[in-house]
């Protein structure tokens, strides 16, 4: 069976649909999505439109493959509620950092629930759907097929969750960047890269150093300057491993189903454990 989502938020989107949708219809919709039945698929200003190929059925007089027009809209959150939600999210460093790195925080839905709001679909009333097919039930298998493509789209574009609820990605990031936490994180993530300087050799070139005729063994072993008695501890990074986390769980070069960040965290933990007693 085809897997339409790898991220937790895409899977949660499907789980939310399964909670109030007939499983049999979702199953037929899954086969439509994986079987190439959906010809066109667009998302514009929170509205999803698609053209879905139907089935030939001579018993009902359908001898030519029909094409049905399907639209899906999710109930938007009001501008006032979005202002309250952004203010609430901006007060949490973990939320701001993950959103600025193109990820959806694990407990984002709990944060919305504290304001009596929902980011993920919560009930059938959240959806307004239409399909030109003759099926009287809603959602039909054509609409259900588009649901699965939306879940797949969420993997590469998690901000689609916000767009479907009426808030564009650029506006969300702009509002988050205005907060004190957002200003610190944005400055750390947008640091200009230093240009590379060409090197004539990969090895350090030896240099001639003048040596006096007489050499003191004491100076040779102890050195000319006394070593510092205390070493200042390095301050912890504002965002640990920012270069790894910047591209998110599934960067373009990462083709596996597992999270790239989780794999790197496990690798670093193994290195720390293995070299724990090494001085």
Q: Which of 148, 173, 189 is the last residue of a domain?
A: 189
Nearest to 112 by CA among 248, 186, 16, 178: 16
> What is the C-alpha separation between 167 and 163, in angstroms, rounded?
5
Q: Do 53 and 143 lie in a common domain?
A: yes
162 and 176 Cβ atoms separated by less than 8 Å: no
Per-residue pLDDT of the chain (279 residues; tens, 9 = 90+): 455 667 777 888 888 777 777 777 777 777 777 777 888 888 887 788 999 888 777 766 667 888 889 998 888 888 899 989 888 888 887 888 788 777 778 788 888 888 998 888 888 888 888 988 887 777 888 888 888 888 888 877 888 888 888 888 888 888 888 877 777 766 655 555 667 777 777 777 788 877 777 767 777 777 767 777 777 777 776 667 777 887 778 888 888 878 888 888 888 888 878 766 655
Measure Cα distances from 13 to 76, 88, 178 in Å: 16, 22, 29
Domain range for 141 is 8-189
Angle between helices 180-189 and 93-100 (to 10 degrees): 40
Q: Do 126 and 264 lie in a common domain?
A: no
Q: Do 250 and 180 lie in a common domain?
A: no
Q: Which of 168, 189, 210 is the last residue of a domain?
A: 189
Residue 264 belongs to some domain of the structure? yes
Sign of CA pseudo-dihedral 106, 108, 114, 119: negative
Total count of domains within the chain: 2
Q: Do 115 and 22 lie in a common domain?
A: yes
Element (H, E) at 38: strand 38-44
> What is the C-alpha separation between 136 and 131, in angstroms, rounded?
10
> DSSP assignment, residue 20?
S
Q: Do 134 and 257 lie in a common domain?
A: no
């Amino acid at each position: 069976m085809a897997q339409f989502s790898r991220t937790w938020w895409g899977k949660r989107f499907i789980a939310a649909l399964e909670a109030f949708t007939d499983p049999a219809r979702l199953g037929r919709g899954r086969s439509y999505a994986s079987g190439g039945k959906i010809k066109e698929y667009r998302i514009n200003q929170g509205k999803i439109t698609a053209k879905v190929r139907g089935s030939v059925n001579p018993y009902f007089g359908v001898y030519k493959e029909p094409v049905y027009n399907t639209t899906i809209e999710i109930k938007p959150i009001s501008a006032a509620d979005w202002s309250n939600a952004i203010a609430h999210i901006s007060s949490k460093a973990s939320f701001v950092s993950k959103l600025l790195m193109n990820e959806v925080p694990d407990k984002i839905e709990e944060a919305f629930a504290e304001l009596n709001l929902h980011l993920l679909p919560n009930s059938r009333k959240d959806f307004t759907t239409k399909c030109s097919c003759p099926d009287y039930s809603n959602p039909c298998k054509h609409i259900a097929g588009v649901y699965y493509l939306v879940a797949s789209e969420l993997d590469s574009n998690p901000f689609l969750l916000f767009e479907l609820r009426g808030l564009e990605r650029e506006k969300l990031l702009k509002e988050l960047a205005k907060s004190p936490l957002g200003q610190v994180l944005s400055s750390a993530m947008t640091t200009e890269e230093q240009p590379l300087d060409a090197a004539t050799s990969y090895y350090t070139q030896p240099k001639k150093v003048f040596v006096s005729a007489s050499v003191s063994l004491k100076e040779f072993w102890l050195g000319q300057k006394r070593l510092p008695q205390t070493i200042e501890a390095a301050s912890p990074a504002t965002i640990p491993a920012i270069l790894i986390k910047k591209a998110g769980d599934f960067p373009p070069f990462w083709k596996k189903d597992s999270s790239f960040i989780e794999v790197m965290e496990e690798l670093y933990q193994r290195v720390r454990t293995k070299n724990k007693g090494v001085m």
